[in-house]
């Protein structure tokens, strides 16, 4: 039976590429993000794709979108939590504006957690429900400037794993996706070399295959994620020494760098 699927974070990058992959397996594919125009353009290419544009951090809009799916489809078989943002912490630039942490943690952790809890009653109406969370391989070993992004994805992965344990008895499957570098608007801002960079289309195909195979942890490309996973098994002091070579902040042996927060 074809599924009622909801892809949250579908307008660009991995999400936009996933629209084509997931639409093929869906009775109805609902697609969401803030950019209604981009979503409408994607939906025009498929007869079974419906647009629900909203900001995942808006609690009222989240509930309206869930009510819309309930009214139109009566159940939800699969929710793909892909919406995300990345901002780096630059200690070398001086004081860090702590609202950066708020923005990243809200979109990458608090919003998908809230959305899933709010939509759980609709997933429970399905005989074959699944939750797919797009996390990141950044959490396999601590990487420079990733304080906010890495923390949000580490929290998200832990939460997804806990949900997997607690929902197993009900037959609701939880799948965690940990991509390496994918060429999207999110990473096009990066000013460092990204090894094993994949196209969004390539990443989307791997995600679809992993979903179909019921893989609990979908991580790719394996040569990159295996390296990070192996490094993550080393003593933390070794990981810190290795990864500090990638850091821009070389002033640790000279003068301390201010980490004070702006008071305004």
Residues 177-196 contacting ligand NAP, CB under 6 A: 179, 181-182, 184-187
Q: Which of residues 126 and 203 has its CB atom nearest to ligand NAP in the complex?
A: 203
What tokens does 170 get?
């009900």
Q: Which is nearer to ligand NAP, 26 or 149 (CB)?
A: 149
User: Which residue, 199 or 259, is less far from ligand NAP as judged by CB?
Assistant: 199
Whose Cβ is closer to ligand NAP: residue 52's or residue 122's?
52
C-beta of 17 vs 120, nearer to ligand NAP: 17
Indicate whether 225 belongs to the interface with ligand NAP (CB under 6 A). Answer: no
**Least separation in angstroms between CB 257 and ligand NAP:** 27
Q: Is 161 in the site for ligand NAP (CB under 6 A)?
A: no
Give the CA dihedral 101, 106, 110, 114, nearest 10 degrees: 170
Q: Does 14 bind ligand NAP (CB under 6 A)?
A: yes
Joined together, the tokens standing for residue 28 give 């109805």
Structure tokens at 51: 């647009």
Question: For residues 21 and 126, which CB has a smaller minimum distance to ligand NAP in the complex?
Answer: 21
12, 161, 243, 247: which one contacts ligand NAP (CB under 6 A)?
A: 12
DSSP letters, the chain, are: --EEEEEES-SSHHHHHHHHHHHHHEEEEEEE-S-HHHHHHHHTT-TTEEE----TT-HHHHHHHHHHHHHHHS--SEEEE---------GGGSSB-THHHHHHHIIIIIHHHHHHHHHHHHHTT-SS-EEEEE--GGGGS--TT-HHHHHHHHHHHHHHHHHHHHHGGGT-EEEEEEE--B-STTTTT--S--TT-B-HHHHHHHHHHHHHTT-SEEEESHHHHHHHHHHTTS-HHHHHHHHHTT-S--GGGSSPPP-PBP--
Site string for ligand NAP, 78-117 (x = CB under 6 A): ----xxxxx--------------------x----------
Of 96, 116, 126, 136, the one binding ligand NAP by CB under 6 A = 136
Residues 24-83 within binding reach of ligand NAP (CB under 6 A): 33-35, 55-57, 82-83
CB 181 → ligand NAP: shortest distance, Å? 4
Q: Which residues bind ligand NAP (CB under 6 A)?
A: 9-15, 33-35, 55-57, 82-86, 107, 134, 136, 179, 181-182, 184-187
């Amino acid at each position: 039976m074809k599924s009622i699927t909801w892809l949250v974070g579908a307008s660009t990058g991995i999400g936009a590429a996933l629209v084509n992959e997931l639409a093929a397996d869906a009775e109805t594919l609902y697609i969401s993000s803030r950019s209604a125009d981009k979503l409408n353009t994607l939906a025009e290419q498929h007869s079974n794709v419906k647009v629900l544009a909203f900001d995942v951090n808006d609690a009222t809009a989240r509930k309206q979108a869930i009510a819309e799916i309930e009214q139109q489809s009566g159940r939800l078989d699969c929710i793909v939590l892909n919406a995300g943002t990345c901002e780096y912490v630059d200690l070398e630039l001086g004081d860090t504006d702590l609202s950066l942490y708020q923005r990243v943690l809200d979109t990458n952790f608090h919003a998908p957690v809230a959305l899933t809890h709010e939509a759980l009653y609709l997933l429970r109406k399905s005989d074959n429900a699944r939750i797919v969370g797009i996390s990141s391989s950044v959490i396999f070993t601590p990487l420079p400037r990733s304080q906010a992004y890495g923390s949000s994805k580490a929290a998200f992965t832990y939460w997804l794993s806990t949900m997997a344990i607690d929902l197993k008895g009900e037959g609701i499957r939880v799948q965690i996706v940990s991509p390496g570098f994918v060429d999207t608007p999110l990473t096009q801002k990066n000013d460092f070399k990204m090894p094993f960079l994949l196209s969004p289309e390539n990443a989307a195909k791997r995600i679809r295959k992993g979903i179909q195979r019921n893989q609990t942890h979908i991580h790719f490309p394996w040569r990159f994620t295996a390296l990070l996973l192996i490094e993550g098994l080393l003593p933390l002091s070794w990981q810190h020494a290795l990864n500090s070579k990638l850091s821009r902040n070389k002033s640790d042996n000279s003068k301390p760098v201010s980490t004070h927060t702006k008071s305004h």
